[in-house]
Amino acid sequence: MSRFRYTAEKSGGEMYQGSADARDRFELYEMIRKEGGRLVSLEEDTAASHMLNIAYWNAKFTTIGEQEKILFARNLGSMLKAGLSLSRALSVIERQTTNGRLKNAISDLQNAVRHGDTLHEALAKFPRIFSKLMTAMVRAGEEGGDLPTSLLTTSDQMERASDLRKKVRGALIYPTIIMIAIIGIGAVMMVVVVPTLAKTFKDMGATLPVSTQAVIAISDFLTEYTVLAGILLVGLIAAVYTGLHTEKGGRMRDFVLLHLPLISPMVKEVNAARTARTLAALFGAGVDVLTGLEITREVVQNSYFQEVLKEAAKNVGAGQPLSATFVRAEHLYPVFVGEMMSVGEETGQTAAMMKQLAEYYEVEVDRKTKNMSTIIEPFMMVFIGAMVGFFAVSMITPIYQISENV
């Protein structure tokens, strides 16, 4: 099997370019003819041409943003809804895509479809690019005979999930900037101001309190071993980052987030919104409950909520209603979640109830993230005041002692 880059002509006379895998040029000619085109020219890709191709290296190191995946699903759904064939729609999107890595992935999808794979089978070959949620939604659409609607629903689901993440991250920007500023100013004070005061105290023979000695000791270390201090700081950040991405570290992070006074309610509502939105999309597309719960576990990410979803799948498999597990997990999921699920099961409108739940908690998260800076600001001011007060007392107390002895 070889890869060919080609130029072809549509029946209307429009020229277009693309790439495809084929055994030889005759098979490539036949594939393009079936798509309603006429092969004009072709070039076989080789390993040497790849190594010298800037686009090849660009595709190797390019990342694919969430917005690009959303546009891919939306554009593909819109084109299929307009009547284009799947292969033709993928070819159009490939030509329009500027991201090298995504372009290569779409080209591979197109080749897989040409060789008989369904779209969900082709998507499943790229788990790092296309999520299980998207693959399951596409499969449900193919089996239900309404692939365009499933793709459009998927793009809407992905966009709402992306908006939710952006709102939460946006709420954390203010306290993060404040903390970075405090650390920066503190480092400057330790390196520039404290050494001057320490020299004065030493020359005057002042008796220093413990707090002042601690501040001066830190200042001496930062001044004399600046490079080592920088290395230790980077190492600490790297260790924390690595630790949080281990199973035990992630578990500890999840526990802390669930027990922080201001953060805990929002964490619960964010996960409730993600759970409800994902289940609404999957159930609405016709995905079975067990598969839906398995996919939702990956979307939720927090290990404590994942355990509830795992238990829910186990209980549903044993014949219990879906709502029963969520009712028992009121320490994580708000009471409203279990009640709405129960109503949905009783009325046969589970997907609709899940959608209403998602909309409700998304509005709540939006409201709380907008007020987050106002809520956090007093606590930040108290923290800053405490730090400044400690530093001031540590440095001013020896000065008063010196003044009294003069």
What pLDDT, on the 0 to 100 scale, is given for residue 22?
73
347-358 burial, b at 16+ Cβ within 10 Å, e below that, comes to: eeebbbbbbbbb
pTM of the model: 0.71
Domain match, 36 and 181 both: no
CA-based R_g, the chain, Å: 30
Inter-residue contact 6 to 25 (CB < 8 Å): no
Domain match, 48 and 171 both: no
Residue 71 lies in a domain: no
What pLDDT, on the 0 to 100 scale, is given for residue 171?
77
**Cα gap 134→113, rounded to integer Å:** 17
Residue 66 lies in a domain: no
Residue 248 lies in a domain: yes
What pLDDT, on the 0 to 100 scale, is given for residue 166?
85
CB-CB neighbours of 301 under 10 Å: 12
What pLDDT, on the 0 to 100 scale, is given for residue 255?
92
Task: Kindly compute the dihedral angle of the four CA atoms of residues 245, 249, 252, 254, in this order, to the nearest 10 degrees.
Answer: 10
Tell me the residue range of the domain where 10 lies.
1-52
Residue 253 lies in a domain: yes
Nearby residues of 329 by Cβ (< 8 Å), 6 or more positions away = 308, 311, 338
What pLDDT, on the 0 to 100 scale, is given for residue 51?
47
Domain match, 254 and 400 both: yes
Residue at a domain's end among 52, 74, 91: 52
Q: 270-283 pLDDT, tens per residue? A: 889 889 988 888 88
Tell me the HSE value of 336 on the side-chain side, using a 13 A CA sphere: 14
**Cα gap 66→130, rounded to integer Å:** 10
**Cα gap 42→29, rounded to integer Å:** 10
What pLDDT, on the 0 to 100 scale, is given for residue 53?
53
Residue 244 lies in a domain: yes
What pLDDT, on the 0 to 100 scale, is given for residue 52?
45
Which CATH number fits the domain that encloses residue 201?
Answer: 1.20.81.30
Residue 240 lies in a domain: yes
**pLDDT < 70: residue spans in the chain:** 1-2, 12-13, 16-17, 45-61, 404-406
Residue 312 lies in a domain: yes
User: DSSP assignment, residue 282?
Assistant: H
What pLDDT, on the 0 to 100 scale, is given for residue 134?
87
What pLDDT, on the 0 to 100 scale, is given for residue 112?
83
Q: 238-263 pLDDT, tens per residue? A: 998 888 888 889 899 899 989 888 78
What pLDDT, on the 0 to 100 scale, is given for residue 45?
66
Residue 161 lies in a domain: no
Complete DSSP assignment for 70-134: HHHHHHHHHHHHTT--HHHHHHHHHHH---HHHHHHHHHHHHHHHTT--HHHHHTT-TTTS-HHH
The total of structural domains in the chain comes to: 2
